[in-house]
Structure 1
Amino acid sequence: MATDPSEYDKAMPIVAAHLAKIERAVSRTRSSHAGQLYTTVREALVQALRDENAERVVPQVVDEFARRISEEPDALPF
């Protein structure tokens, strides 16, 4: 199934904006909760994603970010 290239061009700004919201939420959570318990970090991250209007994130991704903020805060790419 071929995809019209213009659809890609239309979608990319939307995807980029959503990823920027996720990045802000992760960065903010890491700044305020680095090294804290996983459950605390995960709750804070979920709230930060809500605040950014970026709740549509695969749950496993949220889990992994929360784990890394809790256990390896300096190893995140953002």
Structure 2
Amino acid sequence: MTADPSEYEKAMPTVSAFLKKMERGVDRTWATHTGRPYPTVREALALALEEEGARPMVPQVVDELARQISEGTNR
């Protein structure tokens, strides 16, 4: 099964907008919560993503981002 290239091009503006929202939420959380305990970071990140309109998010992605922010890694 192959994807129709026109479908990809139609979806890209929506995907791009979502990724920008996600990036803003992650950046906000990095700026304010780096090194804090994971549960605190996870809650702050979930709230920031919601406020930016980056929903729905895959829980495992939020978990991993929160772990990285908490540990101060991969920035």
TM-score (norm 2): 0.92
RMSD of the alignment, in Å? 1.1
* Greater displacement, 38-47 / 49-58: 49-58
Is there any run of 5+ residues in structure 1 with no aligned partner, and where? Answer: none
Deviations 1:14-62 (A, max 9, x none): 1011011111100000101111010000000000011011121111110
| Alpha-carbon distance between aligned partners in 2 of 1:18 and 1:40, rounded to the nearest angstrom | 24
Q: Which residue of 2 aligns with 1:68?
A: 68
TM-score (norm 1): 0.88
Instruction: State, as a whole percentage, how many aligned pairs show the same letter.
Output: 59
Is there any run of 5+ residues in structure 2 with no aligned partner, and where? Answer: none
4+ residue runs of structure 1 moved beyond 3 angstroms? none
Q: Say whether the 8 Å CA contact 1:46–1:55 is kept in structure 2.
A: no
| Alpha-carbon distance between aligned partners in 1 of 2:23 and 2:62, rounded to the nearest angstrom | 12
Task: Give how far 1:2 is off.
Answer: 3.4
